[in-house]
Amino acid sequence: ETGVTQSPTHLIKTRGQQVTLRCSSQSGHNTVSWYQQALGQGPQFIFQYYREEENGRGNFPPRFSGLQFPNYSSELNVNALELDDSALYLCASRREHLSYEQYFGPGTRLTVT
């Protein structure tokens, strides 16, 4: 186990709704990244947070947004949910912004109906 925790474990939402996913980074880690993993595929980078600011973003629309708190925990918010948003959402933390190794949490399984 990495020490990265995520909640909730599973979530079912309806198209058009909004969702908030939560992540607690491993102790001593100050940088958090979020990834989306569709079924049968590798994770895709959404964005990362360092010092409570977004610091790098992948090819995801603005309805994907996030926050990082002073204790380095983070939230991922998705507005106007679409069916294609159904996926496993993974949070990864690393010790410093310039560190290489990223450690993943167990993920939140989001189903949009």
Partner 1 sequence: GENVEQHPSTLSVQEGDSAVIKCTYSDSASNYFPWYKQELGKGPQLIIDIRSNVGEKKDQRIAVTLNKTAKHFSLHITETQPEDSAVYFCAAMGGTSYGKLTFGQGTILTVHP
Instruction: By CB under 8 A, name the binding residues for partner 1.
Output: 2, 4, 31, 33, 35, 40-45, 48, 55-56, 58, 90, 92, 94, 97-98, 100-107
Q: Select 18 or 99, whichever has its Cβ closest to partner 1.
A: 99
As measured in angstroms, the least distance from the Cβ of 94 to partner 1 is 7
Q: Please give the C-alpha separations between residue 15 and each of 40, 64, 79, 92, 112, in angstroms, as whole numbers.
A: 22, 15, 10, 26, 6
List helix spans (H) across the chain.
Answer: none
3-state DSSP assignment of residue 36: strand
In the block, residue with structure tokens 């983070």:
74
Q: Select 17 or 99, whichever has its Cβ closest to partner 1.
A: 99
Q: Select 2 or 65, whichever has its Cβ closest to partner 1.
A: 2
As measured in angstroms, the least distance from the Cβ of 43 to partner 1 is 5
As measured in angstroms, the least distance from the Cβ of 15 to partner 1 is 25
Q: Select 17 or 52, whichever has its Cβ closest to partner 1.
A: 52
